[in-house]
Chains A and B, each alone.
Chain A
Amino acid sequence: MDGKTAPVTGLVDESNSGAKANGWLRVLKALRTSLRRMLGCLAGLLAVALATFCAFQLHLNLSASGSLFFLIVVMVAVVWGFWEASITSLVAVNCLNYFFVPPLLTWRVSDPQDWVALATFEMAALIVSRLSTRVQAKARAEARQRVGVEKLYQISQRILLLDRRQMIGPQLVSLIQEIFGTETVALFDAKLARLDATGSRASELGQLARDAFFQDRTLQGPENFSWAHVLRLGVTPVGGIALCGPELDRLASAPIASLSAIALERARSFENESRAEAARQSEQLRTAVLDALAHAFKTPLTAILTASSGLLVAGRLSPDDAELATLIDEQAEHLNHLTSELLQMARIDAADVGLRRERISVLTLIEDALARHREQLDGRRVSVPESASSLEIYGDREILTTALEQVIDNASRYSTPGSPISVSAEENLGETIIAVHNEGPPIRPADRERIFDRFFRAEESRHRAPGTGLGLSITKKAVEAHGGRTWVVSNEDSGTTFFFALPRGQRRQYESVARQDSGR
């Protein structure tokens, strides 16, 4: 995949060429290692041969030539490693025996002290080689670790610079590959159901990253050096990452996974922030448009209504003229009602992002709705329960008053004229339920669900009372914006009751204020 990233969705064909290339790479690596070993041994042997030749020509004794060989073995250990040094030391001890231990130029050893010297030489050479290799390995590991930490630091810095306007996944996998030199990286984002991968074994590791997420645990790939970790935000798994590369172990890959999770979280929070900002701006725009619209509609309506009611009040019209003026008056009033409800609907539609919540006493809410609606109630008895004074809800006062007002309006329109209406409120199972009951013909079962739909009007109600078909849908929308629900119960005997339930707010007693005062 030539180093570029590509989102992989679904399973992709096994990339055979990639796997083959990978096999070759491994063979090449093994070859290189053995070649290096042989080179080390060869160099050791050459050095020993050279030293033997020189020492033999110079007639050095056993201890002097032993020291020389010892030096060679240590140097081989430092430069190449333990195994090369061991082979060199074995050859060296044989050379010592053959060329420098009497009788010379034989393998025999006549003096037992020479056996001790040769054994000591071999043991010392082996121990020193071993120690030197170990120290070197440790130094190398430390250096590797330092490089690892530097890379992690580098990636944490670069994550801050990722382009927020573009998808984070592709940027992140390229970044990991660039910094860690991994062979393949695959990142699975569970929220977006998106897989980003780069490298030769993209599809294989993509599946591994998915598996790690779905099984919610760290997985090791079929071959060494490939690992898949779960990405978590806090304790919640949000995706998976699979990595494969030379010398990549479980410990090295875990911090990469943590950093990737942080990068994802950071991208998410930026995204949420900008979405909230966009919503706020469109809400502002909407409110501004609505206000302008309200003004634009209400002004001509005011002029029409003033003129029509003025004509009627003046009382100088013939009966026919008065009838026409009344018609204008009524229809302008109806248009006004419709405009108000459409505006309310639009405001409530926008309210999902802009509820102005506060604590409201349920009794106050009922009183406010009734006060607004007093004219239409036309002196009808409305009973309000005393129990409502101790109940409170947490919501948008304006929107909830409108919601309740619409239900009361509905009750007064479609009930038996002059019959009482009752409003009740109670708390039940964590909800505050407000109910408005009226007497009158029941709502057909088929209409009970649809009655809350926008513009729906029941067949028989169309002839009974003027209406817009918006009222109850306003209530439903307003209540749902608060996380509540609406329903209706209706039958021939007991009449119709509309309910709306809101998640409960905290209860608080205000009666104490009144008691303090009356106690004086």
Chain B
Amino acid sequence: MSQSHGKILVVDDESSIRRALHSTLHGMGFEVYEADTGEAALDLVRAAEYDVILLDINMPGIGGVRACREIRRSLPRLEILMLTVRDSEEDKIAALDAGADDYITKPFHIRELAARIRAAVRRSSSFHSDPDAVIQIGNIELDPARRLVRKAGEPVHLTPKEFDLMRYLMAHAGLPMTHVRLLRAVWGPEYGGELEYLRTFIRQLRKKLEEDPAEPVYLLTDSHIGYRFAEAKPEPVAEKR
């Protein structure tokens, strides 16, 4: 076999899904391992190293959310991608709050799943980042040390809270951030229910940073879950490197 793109652990109680994922991901160059319960997954991740774990939320036994919490406790760096079904927003939020990095809704297209897995593999291999390093995504640039944000090279005036929110979102670009997580990270641990605060701030940020606030390219809404900052460079910016 040629060089592996990453070690993936697929955890799902449905063997048809494990089989389908195994064959397709293996065909795309990933090394694939399987577990059929959360308990089995815990045993496996303690014994060997993986880059990404695909974890079904709805499983008998300890279930996906608890398995996620347990894995996160012992392996803070392992990328956890939850597999969910639509209309289970509460489960998704619970999983993200339990430490999952991202989620994907069943049934998915393999192309989309592969993109998420590659992004996760990339994140897991470039973990050591300098907290004060300048973050550049598309034509938005954020300089944490100087507390400055530029859009296409032009400085944008942000209020302190707007800056903190941007910084947190950009530091976790590509990943869904639940409302509660954003509120606690930016406003403080006693916050959590003030969704309208967040919505107001995101609206302000979109006005300042997006070309068309109604068609956001960077500050994306994850319906009912929270927000995510776009990961890949959006279309207007040409690939230079």
A residues apposed to B, CB below 8 Å: 294-295, 298-307, 309-311, 313-314, 332, 336, 340, 343-344, 347, 361, 363-364, 367-372, 381-384, 389, 397-398, 401, 510-511, 513-514, 517-518, 520
Contacts and interface: CB of A to CB of B under 8 A. Distances in A.
23 contacts: A299-B14, A299-B16, A299-B106, A300-B16, A303-B14, A303-B16, A306-B20, A306-B108, A306-B110, A307-B24, A309-B24, A310-B27, A313-B24, A313-B111, A340-B87, A347-B87, A361-B196, A370-B221, A389-B203, A510-B200, A513-B201, A514-B201, A520-B160
Contact of B159 (A305, A336, A397, A520): A520
B24 A302 contact: no
A358 to B, nearest CB: 10
Given A306-B21, A401-B224, A518-B204, 4 more contacts: A299-B106, A311-B24, A313-B114, A368-B223
A298 B106 contact: yes
A344 B199 CA distance: 26
Interface of B: 14, 16-17, 19-21, 23-24, 27-28, 58, 85-87, 89, 106-111, 113-114, 159-162, 195-197, 199-201, 203-204, 212, 214-215, 220-224
A340 B12 CA distance: 21
Closest 3 CB pairs of A and B: A310-B24, A371-B221, A306-B20
B110 A397 contact: no
Contacts of A314: 24, 27-28
Contacts of B89: 398
A305 B108 contact: yes
Contacts of B106: 298-299, 301-302
B114 A517 contact: no
A361 B199 contact: yes
A309 B106 CA distance: 13
Contacts of B214: 382-384
Contacts of A301: 106-107
A304 B24 CA distance: 12
A372 B222 CA distance: 8
A514 B107 contact: no
A383 B201 CA distance: 20
Contacts of A310: 20, 23-24, 27-28, 110
B106 to A, nearest CB: 4
Contact of A340 (B21, B86, B108, B114): B86
A517 B161 contact: yes
Contacts of B224: 368, 397-398, 401
Contacts of B160: 517, 520
Contacts of A305: 107-110
Contact of B196 (A300, A401, A513): A513
A309 B195 CA distance: 37
A466 B199 CA distance: 35
Given A303-B17, A303-B20, A367-B221, A313 B28 contact: yes
Contacts of A401: 223-224
Nearest to B21: A306
Contact of B24 (A306, A363, A369, A383): A306
A340 B85 CA distance: 10
A322 B21 CA distance: 19
A364 B222 CA distance: 11
A313 B24 CA distance: 9
Contacts of B23: 307, 310
A27 B22 CA distance: 102
Contacts of A369: 223
Contacts of A300: 16
Contacts of B28: 310, 313-314
A314 B212 CA distance: 37
Nearest to A373: B223
A369 B222 CA distance: 10
B166 to A, nearest CB: 13
A298 B107 CA distance: 7
A332 B17 CA distance: 15
Nearest to A371: B221
B222 A517 contact: no
Given A510-B199, A517-B159, A382 B215 contact: yes
A347 B88 CA distance: 13
A336 B85 CA distance: 11
A312 to B, nearest CB: 8
Nearest to A380: B215
Given A302-B107, A305-B107, A294 B85 contact: yes
A67 to B, nearest CB: 97
Contacts of A514: 200-201, 203-204
Contact of A309 (B17, B111, B162, B203): B111
B87 A343 contact: yes
A311 B108 CA distance: 14
A206 to B, nearest CB: 55
A88 B57 CA distance: 104
A371 B230 CA distance: 13
Contacts of B87: 294, 340, 343-344, 347, 398
Contacts of A517: 159-162, 201
In the complex, which of the residues B21, B161, B201, B203 has the most CB atoms of chain A within 10 Å of its own CB atom?
Answer: B203
A394 to B, nearest CB: 14
In the complex, which of the residues B85, B162, B195, B222 has the most CB atoms of chain A within 10 Å of its own CB atom?
Answer: B85
A167 B199 CA distance: 55
B191 to A, nearest CB: 12
Nearest to A514: B200
B73 to A, nearest CB: 28
A205 B234 CA distance: 84
B94 to A, nearest CB: 15
A513 B200 contact: yes
A476 B196 CA distance: 28
Contacts of B200: 510-511, 513-514
A94 B218 CA distance: 125
Nearest to A295: B58
B239 to A, nearest CB: 19
Given A295-B85, A310-B27, A381-B215, A513 B110 contact: no
Contacts of B215: 381-382
Contacts of A298: 85, 106-107
A389 B203 CA distance: 9
A364 B199 contact: yes
Contacts of A397: 224
A44 B212 CA distance: 115
Nearest to B58: A295
Contacts of B204: 514, 518
A371 B224 CA distance: 10
Nearest to A303: B16
A311 B110 CA distance: 9
Contacts of A389: 203
B165 to A, nearest CB: 10
